Amino acid sequence: MMRLHKLYHRFTLVPLSLPSNPSLLPLAPPLRLTLRHRTSVNFASMASSRLRNLAPLAAAPTEDAAAASISSSPNAAASVDYDDESTVGVRYRVPPSVISDIVDAPPVPALSFSPLRDRIIFLKRRALPPLAEIARPEEKLAGIRIDGKCNTRSRMSFYTGIGIHQILPDGTLGSETEVSGFPVGAKINFVSWSPDGCHLSFSIRVNEEDNDSSKLTVWIADVKTGIARKLFQSPNVHLNAVFDNYVWVNNSSLLVCTIPSSRGAPPKKPLVPSCPKIQSNEERSIIQVRTFQDLLKDEYDEDLFDYYATSQLVLASLDGTTKEIGPPAVYTSMDPSPDHKYILINSLHRPYSFIVPCGRFPKKVELWSADGKLIRELCDLPLAEDIPIAFNSVRKGMRSINWRADKPSTLYWVETQDGGDAKVEISPRDIIYTQPAEPLEGEHPTILHKLDFRYGGVSWCDDSLALVYESWYKTRKIRTWVVSPGSEDVAPRILFDRSSEDVYSDPGSPMMRRTQAGTYIIARIKKESDEGRYIILNGNGATPEGNIPFLDLFDINTGKKMERIWESDKEKYYETVVALMSDQEEGDLYLDKLKILTSKESKTENTQYYFVSWPDKNIVQVTNFPHPYPQLASLQKEMIRYERKDGVQLTATLYLPPGYNPSTDGPLPCLVWSYPGEFKSKDAAGQVRGSPNEFAGIGSTSALLWLARRFAILSGPTIPIIGEGDEEANDRYVEQLVASAEAAVEEVIQRGVADPKKIAVGGHSYGAFMTANLLAHAPHLFCCGIARSGAYNRTLTPFGFQNEDRTLWEATNTYVEMSPFMSANKIKKPILLIHGEEDNNPGTLTMQSDRFFNALKGHGALCRLVILPHESHGYTAKESIMHVLWETDRWLHKYCVSNSSEAGEDHATDTVKEHVSKGTTNAESKVVAPSGGGSREVSDLEYEEFHSLPRSSL
Q: Is residue 356 part of a domain?
A: no
Beta bridge partners, 536, equal 553
pLDDT band of 52, cuts 50, 70, 90:
very low
- Selection from 737, 713, 840, 856 nearest residue 789 by Cα: 840
Are the CB atoms for 165 and 614 separated by under 8 Å? Answer: no
**pLDDT for residue 921 is more than 70:** no
Are the CB atoms for 834 and 802 separated by under 8 Å? Answer: no
Euclidean distance between CA atoms 787 and 774, whole angstroms = 11
**pLDDT for residue 451 is more than 50:** yes
Residues 6+ apart with CB under 8 A from 289: 355, 356, 385, 389, 799
User: Residue 894 carries which DSSP code?
Assistant: I
755 lies in the same domain as 828: yes
677, amino acid identity = G
Output the pLDDT for position 85. 56
- Strands of 370-445 (E only): list them: 374-381, 398-403, 410-416, 430-436
556 lies in the same domain as 458: no
Output the pLDDT for position 83. 58
**pLDDT for residue 728 is more than 60:** yes
What does each C-alpha distance from 211 to 130, 147, 265, 540 come to in angstroms? Answer: 21, 12, 12, 49
- Whether the bond between 428 and the residue before it is cis, its omega within 30 degrees of 0, is yes
Please tell me which residue, 68 or 473, carries the higher pLDDT value: 473
Q: Is residue 799 part of a domain?
A: yes
pLDDT band of 212, cuts 50, 70, 90:
low
648 lies in the same domain as 555: no
Phi first, then psi, for residue 510 (nearest 5°) are: -65, 140
454 lies in the same domain as 527: no
Q: What mean pLDDT do residues 425-436 have?
A: 98
Q: What is the mean pLDDT of the chain?
A: 86
440 lies in the same domain as 544: no
Are the CB atoms for 522 and 514 separated by under 8 Å? Answer: no
Are the CB atoms for 232 and 194 separated by under 8 Å? Answer: no
Q: Is residue 43 part of a domain?
A: no
**H or E element at residue 774:** helix 766-777
Q: Is residue 635 part of a domain?
A: yes
469 lies in the same domain as 561: no
Please tell me which residue, 934 or 668, carries the higher pLDDT value: 668
pLDDT tens-digit readout, 226-247? 999 999 999 999 999 999 999 9
- Strands of 571-662 (E only): list them: 573-580, 589-590, 595-602, 608-613, 618-621, 636-643, 649-656
Q: pTM of the entire structure?
A: 0.86
pLDDT band of 277, cuts 50, 70, 90:
confident
pLDDT tens-digit readout, 101-158? 999 988 888 999 999 999 999 999 998 999 999 999 999 999 999 999 999 999 989 9
Output the pLDDT for position 528. 85
Output the pLDDT for position 825. 97
Euclidean distance between CA atoms 716 and 804, whole angstroms = 21
pLDDT band of 206, cuts 50, 70, 90:
confident
Are the CB atoms for 463 and 484 separated by under 8 Å? Answer: yes
Percent of the chain scored above 70 by pLDDT?
Answer: 84
881 lies in the same domain as 742: yes
| Helix, strand, or coil (residue 548) | coil
Judged by average pLDDT, the poorest of 456-470, 515-529, 892-906 is: 892-906
**pLDDT for residue 225 is more than 80:** yes
Please tell me which residue, 183 or 916, carries the higher pLDDT value: 183
Are the CB atoms for 178 and 161 separated by under 8 Å? Answer: yes
Burial of 97 by CB count in 10 Å (0-12 exposed, 13-18 middle, 19+ buried)?
middle
Output the pLDDT for position 90. 72
Output the pLDDT for position 759. 98
Q: Is residue 842 part of a domain?
A: yes
pLDDT tens-digit readout, 644-687? 999 999 999 999 999 999 999 999 999 999 999 999 999 999 99
Q: Is residue 102 part of a domain?
A: no
881 lies in the same domain as 753: yes
Q: Is residue 241 part of a domain?
A: no
What CATH number does the domain containing 833 carry?
3.40.50.1820
551 lies in the same domain as 451: no
Q: Is residue 425 part of a domain?
A: yes
Among residues 866, 897, 928, the one where a domain terminates is: 897
Q: What mean pLDDT do residues 26-36 have?
A: 33
Q: At what angle do helices 766-777 and 733-750 cross, to 10 degrees?
A: 80
Number of domains within the chain: 3
734 lies in the same domain as 879: yes
For the sheet with 925-928, list strands across it: 636-643, 649-656, 712-715, 668-673, 754-764, 784-788, 831-836, 863-868, 925-928
Among residues 627, 645, 680, the one where a domain terminates is: 627
Are the CB atoms for 138 and 936 separated by under 8 Å? Answer: no
Output the pLDDT for position 80. 59
Euclidean distance between CA atoms 477 and 752, whole angstroms = 41
Domain that holds residue 609: 510-627
pLDDT tens-digit readout, 875-911? 999 999 999 999 999 999 999 999 865 444 443 334 3
**H or E element at residue 525:** strand 525-526
798 lies in the same domain as 665: yes
Output the pLDDT for position 30. 33
Are the CB atoms for 871 and 934 separated by under 8 Å? Answer: yes
Active-site positions read 765, 839, 873
748 lies in the same domain as 797: yes
**pLDDT for residue 74 is more than 80:** no
- Selection from 923, 839, 835 nearest residue 883 by Cα: 835
Output the pLDDT for position 930. 38
**pLDDT for residue 455 is more than 60:** yes
Q: How many CA atoms lie within 13 A of 67 on its CB side?
A: 10
Output the pLDDT for position 283. 86
Q: What mean pLDDT do residues 3-23 have?
A: 31
Buried b (16+ CB within 10 A) or exposed e, 170-181: ebebeeebebee
